[in-house]
Structure 1
Amino acid sequence: MVLERHGGRSRLVALAAAAALVLGPALAGCGDGGDGEAPPATLPTATDRPRDPEAAEAEITKNWTAFFDPKTPTDEKVRLLENGERMRTVLAAFAGDKNAAMTSAKVKGIEFTSPNDADVTYDLLVGGSAALPDSKGTSVLQEDTWKVSVKTLCGLVQLSGASVPGC
């Protein structure tokens, strides 16, 4: 399975460390040009956010927490994932994995990019400890529900080196 144990350490934790080493320098290269001055902040306009951003943030947080909760049944995870029915097989496989049973997420920040899309900063936790701190994902409003995007799930699957249908 995607998250099998090797040498007493979760493969996910090892991959997270590798991802940090690879992505850290790349992200550091996306700075402000080195002049010491931060670029001006751009505030989202009213058209970049849903009508009730506070309610949307609460729903995103609730749904992400439930999606990554190992106790959440597969049928519910399908409902909380963008185009979830197409990913049912992948979600069912994770449901039976002992390492996935130790994985959860904590939403740390939400920034709306449109009334139907949001960038989500979260910690992916394994056994309560941050395995992938400050991870970036997206949430989409689909069928009147804020859902974890397939792009986010597939990004995590790709970190494991696995290839699954739908990603």
Structure 2
Amino acid sequence: MLLTRRASPSGQDHDWTAVRSALVRYIRGRTGRLDLAEDVAQETLARLIALQEQDTVGSLFALGFRIADNLVIDIHRREARASGEVDERFECTAPSLDRVVDSRHAVAILSRTLQRMPPLRREVILRRRLRRQSCAVIAEELELTPKAVEKHITRGLVDLKTAFDKAGLAPESLGE
């Protein structure tokens, strides 16, 4: 676009080339991108000319910088939305509501299933899975054979899997 001095309806003479080059420098300094600076400066000039033709503008540079700032912010928002990146200021580390509900449901199933197990099986499962005791230690402390401990663990895990399957929950989908 060829820009020259042009008089406004109020009779003021404006140097649009100087305004454009100031805008390009300003936007490039803010964004570090010449391609974006050129596009935003062009759009800013179009808006400035339209505003200047409607009314007297006190400072084309001040208004131009304000318009350019707003355009850069709009472009940044549009690009962030299109890229799917999440602005870290708005990122939430809390689990989703669905995840919380599923986890609570899973805990209820786990608790109910453990209560229904024979006491010895429940004790073996809790020692192995929660306390991380070895089969040998469990066998020694409960006066069982290691093979009996393994059978209790196997049967207990089958009971838990059956309960989760009936509820339509997969334990692996609940996270670690």
Same fold (TM over 0.5): no
Q: Which has the higher contact order (CA 8 A, sep 6+)?
A: 1
Q: Rg larger in 1 or in 2?
A: 2
TM-score (norm 1): 0.27
Q: Which has the higher helix share?
A: 2
Q: Which has the higher strand share?
A: 1
TM-score (norm 2): 0.26
